[in-house]
Each structure stands twice: as structure tokens, then as C-alpha cells.
Amino acid sequence: MASDAWISSSLPYLRPVEGDQGDAWGEEAAARGRRGTQRIVRAGEVSAPAVVARLLGIEDGDTVVVRRRIMYLDEEPCELTDSYYPAPIAAGTCLADTAKIRGGAVALLAELGHVGRRVREDVTARMPDAQERELLRIGPEEPVMRLERVVLDGADRAIQADLITMPARRRRLRYEIRMG
């Protein structure tokens, strides 16, 4: 692993951020003396791709709300993050808009009565497609990691699905599991 690899944990992104900014990524980067920013490139209603339908437990093509972002670390793109929400939860809310959400998406979901209680993540590695290479500014021989995450509420209903693509050489994922 390269010494400049970013070690990341999912937990900060699953809890509401305190204060008005709602930027867990910016806070995590700042705590390490770095600058984390993001650009929302698309938000709104779309037809669910097959992988999203599977994660959310809905039919292929059902309407969902997406927030598509490019994450930057010190001005370099480091992650492509697409967050999807079932339309009955997110349609007509700030989740369907490109503006920053006060307190973050997790806080807004909680305000709407949807609190995550369980998370399932799958991580795979593959070669990037042309668009991913361009957006992440990586070469054709550099693999990416793909994290698929689904957030479930207390009744095991899916309230959010994330598809995250990141350059493998610049990332290391850390999982800590409390037992007992």
C-alpha cells in the first residue's frame, strides 16, 4: 500500500454531522490536516439501475432519487459517490436537489423519520471504465475499488444505497467490529 493511501472508515458517513455544515468528508480530511471537498454533479429522480434496485429491494427501473458527487482530497478527485434513495422517501426533498444539505443527508433522513440501524457493505476491485478514468484522473491500468453499501432501518427496509468508486492504490478501507 502506498504511504499516501487514505485510510477510510464508513462510520462517520452513517451518523448525522453535528453543526450546520453537515460535511463528514470535510471534517475527516481536516482532522488529518487535509482539505476534503465535494461537487454534486447531479441530483434528482432517475430509473433505478439493476444494482440499485437489488440493494434497495425494488424493481429494476423503479423511480429513485440520486445524488451523484465527486469527492476531492486536496483538490484531487479521489472518489465517485452515487447515493440513491427510494422515491417515496426522497422525492420532493432536498435529497433531490444539488444544494448542500444542512446537517447532511443522514440528518435529513432522520428528520423525515428514516433512521439507519444496520449497514451492509460489499467491496470489489475491477478495472475502471473510460468515464471513471477521466473523472478520477487515473490511468487505464490502475484498478478501482467499488463499495456497494445499503443502509437499512429498524424494520430492515432499505433507505439508502451508495455506489462508491475509488482508485485502489490511494485507498484503504478499515472495518472495526465491536463484539459482545
| Burial of residue 156, with CB atoms counted within 10 A of its CB: 0-12 exposed, 13-18 middle, 19 or more buried | exposed
Residue with cell 439501475: 49
Closest CA relative to residue 128, chosen from 118, 140, 137: 140
Angle at alpha carbon of residue 167, lines to 147 and 151, rounded to 5° = 15
Q: What is the structure's pLDDT at 157? A: 96
What global pTM score does this model have? 0.85
pLDDT tier, 14 (very low <50, low <70, confident <90, very high otherwise):
low
Check residue 5 and give its pLDDT: 54
DSSP 78-140: EEEEEEEEEHHHHTTSGGGSSSPPTTHHHHHHHHTT----EEEEEEEEE---HHHHHHHT--T
Confidence of residue 19 (pLDDT cuts 50, 70, 90): low
CB–CB of 8/174 below 8 Å?
yes
Q: Which of 43-47, 58-62, 97-101 has the lowest mean pLDDT?
A: 97-101
Average pLDDT, the chain: 86
* Direct distance between the N- and C-terminal alpha carbons of the chain, in angstroms, rounded to an integer: 32
State residue 110's pLDDT score: 92
Percent above pLDDT 70 for the chain: 85
